[in-house]
Structure 1
Amino acid sequence: MAPTVFIPYGTYNYKDRLIELGKVLNKEQEAKKCLADFASRIAEKKQALSDVIDSGKKNCYF
């Protein structure tokens, strides 16, 4: 039987859950890097969306 790790649903947000899984798998640094990359991509998309909204363009695809 494989080891089982219980992480209560609803206790952690997605960031904390990923960090906990990283700890369990001994890949905490990779989990933190993944979250940092994700945050960077979100910031880029927010800026791009803000630029489109501010310019008043319509029917723009990213």
Structure 2
Amino acid sequence: MSSGTTELAWFKSSYSGSQGDSCVEVAIAEQAVHVRDSKDLSRTRFAVNREHWAPFVDFVAGSTEA
């Protein structure tokens, strides 16, 4: 994760509802994609290496199917 000296530009997915619940935000940096809980910014965020971002998203999307 970055040292915090560079401000990240966070955004929510277009799939996030207008209600604002159950959302995550991501910020794309040079070395990693950072992920945080949009409802509770005090919680620990994490970063995924850019090389592993697409497989990570595929895994998460597959794990939410009923």
Tell me the TM-score normalised to structure 2 length: 0.31
Question: Larger relative contact order (C-alpha < 8 A, sep ≥ 6)?
Answer: 2
When you count helix as a share of all residues, which structure comes out higher? 1
Larger radius of gyration: 1
